Amino acid sequence: MAEKDTGSLVVMEGEELVGIVTERHYARNVVLKGETSPATPVRDIMERHAVIAQSGQSVDECMAIMSEERVRHLPVFEGRKPIGIVSIGDLVKSIIGDQKFVIFQLEQYIHGERAIVDG
């Protein structure tokens, strides 16, 4: 994970999702217990109840899932195929970007300037 600068990985057996492992799982179940990485199988530290999102779900829907399930990383699937992972940070950045755009548009409107329409 450090080599690829990622905070989580999906764990697959063939085409089937069997879990997720995060930096937190590694820290709590390997480092803090004094274990060693080469001697610890991923299946011993992963979360087997992997909560997922589908690629068509909105940022708001993903935030709701993450809040309800108390997870920080959400694997994204297209049907049964994994296509990525979003973190809570990714979603917060998206929301902040959207809010900045709306604020800019409102400021332009208030000051009587022509607003730039996205798209």
Is the pLDDT at 108 greater than 90, yes or no? no
Q: Which of 49, 52, 30 is nearest to 41 (CA)?
A: 30
Is the pLDDT at 117 greater than 70, yes or no? no
Which pLDDT score is estimated for 116? 59
Is the pLDDT at 111 greater than 80, yes or no? yes
Q: For 7-41, give the DSSP string.
A: SEEEEEETTEEEEEEEHHHHIIIIITTT--TTTS-
Which pLDDT score is estimated for 37? 76
* pLDDT tens for each residue of 13-52: 999 999 999 988 888 888 767 777 777 888 988 999 999 9
pTM, 2 dp: 0.74
Q: Report the alpha-carbon distance of residue 31 to residue 10 in Å, rounded.
A: 20
